[in-house]
Structure 1
Amino acid sequence: MSDPSEEYADPPESLAGRLLVASPELTEDVFSRSVVLILQHGAEGAEGVVLNKPIGASVDSVLPGWQEGASSPQQLFQGGPVALDSAVGLAGVRGHRDVELGLKRLFGSIAVVDLDAPQEVVWPEISGLRVFAGYSGWTKGQLEGELAHGAWYVVDAHAEDVFDPTPDTLWRRVLRRQAAPLAWLSTYPADPSLN
């Protein structure tokens, strides 16, 4: 097998701020029917978080005090298979002014939260909060290879996708709002053999 960094050597167009929607054929654990928000993407690789995989643990179980401001469902989400012992916090930032202490705007109204910052400084500045255990990561050329093989569909993100209160249906709803034929995949059965 060839080295993906050699096959996709040209710097990619950045997908930061966009969504990767798993194709129905991608059935690998956390990525099965996943919707991934790309946080950063460049020549050296990409990082993102899976938006629709709550793990049933409260946010306070790993980050005491952050549960209060977490968006519904107030659970920890699995951001991906990498560094599951670390936490990534994303917040919706109000307005277009510069963000304050404890927040770093990534794109649009989405910011990463410094989870060591005083909560009383962060709460007034945000409109939503989601905390992820781990993240999804791709090395140089890896994501480009997966895209070329049809593992993911790249679509525009809406800020409400990040803080969606019903993550179990997010995959279908993101596909449904796309133009045909991509929208038709929203009806793809979880188990095609039962069709």
Structure 2
Amino acid sequence: MTEVSSLTGRLLVASPALTDPNFDRAVVLLLDHDEEGSLGVVLNRPTPVDVETVLTGWGGLTGEPAVVFQGGPVSLDAALGVGVVPGENAGESGILGWRRVHGAIGLVDLEAPPELLAPELSSLRIFAGYAGWGPGQLEDELTEGAWYVVESEPGDVSCPVPERLWREVLRRQRGQLAMVATYPDDPSMN
């Protein structure tokens, strides 16, 4: 098997050609990507469920909207926390309850006391479920043109209007990819 170049920490932005309803206009933050497969969370699928109703103590640490996000179609009964630790603290400093994924972005241990992480986090999102791909599956989807791979920014995790994230991420790209942001929601109305 050929070696897989890691896309951990990057964004997968659904192309308009992607027809799977789970990923229509999705922006996925890849939390892990290697020869064994890939795992990520959809950043722009808020649910109506308040974080505080399912994870007491964590609601005050989440940004607006303070709701649980549907991270993907796999294991919807499992919760993942993704948080941003700003500045120098984001290094390999060993913050208890936080594991660096890429840059300032990391996974939050939701079993840890929330007050332990409160002083360290600049933003937090809670996800129910995740998106997963088996070995080579994501690479096949990339070859088929289902996803655009772009750099993530810490603010992507806590975008206050997640419904706009797909267009915002595409708009900040260079060249023709920025033009995809203007693709109509319903091409038949064009």
- CA distance in 1 between counterparts of 2:106 and 2:167 reads 25
Deviation at residue 181 of structure 1 after TM alignment = 1.0
Structure 2 match to 1:17 = 9
- CA distance in 2 between counterparts of 1:52 and 1:99 reads 29
1:141 and 2:136 correspond: yes
Structure 2 match to 1:32 = 24
TM-score, structure 1 normalization? 0.93
1:55 and 2:50 correspond: no
1:64 and 2:66 correspond: no
Structure 2 match to 1:111 = 106
Map Cα deviations across residues 32-63 of structure 1 (whole Å, 9 max, x no partner): 00000001100010000000010111011211
* Aligned pair partner of 2:121 in 116, 126, 134: 126
Unaligned ranges ≥5, structure 2: none
Deviation at residue 100 of structure 1 after TM alignment = 1.9
Please tell me whether the aligned partners of residues 27 and 33 of structure 1 are also in contact (alpha carbons under 8 angstroms): no
The secondary structure found in structure 2 opposite 1:71 is: coil
Alignment length (residue pairs): 187
- CA distance in 2 between counterparts of 1:35 and 1:82 reads 16
The secondary structure found in structure 2 opposite 1:150 is: coil
Deviation at residue 64 of structure 1 after TM alignment = 1.3
Aligned counterparts, 1:160-175, within 5 A: 160-175=155-170
Structure 1 match to 2:66 = 74
Structure 2 match to 1:42 = 34
**4+ long deviations beyond 2 Å:** 94-97
Greater alpha carbon shift after TM alignment, 91-100 vs 106-115: 91-100
Aligned-residue RMSD, C-alpha: 1.0
- CA distance in 2 between counterparts of 1:106 and 1:33 reads 24
Question: Structure 1 residues 94 and 177 mapped into 2: Cα distance closer, same or farther (>3 Å)?
Answer: closer
TM-score, structure 2 normalization? 0.95
Structure 2 match to 1:91 = 83
* Aligned pair partner of 1:183 in 168, 174, 178: 178
Deviation at residue 95 of structure 1 after TM alignment = 2.6
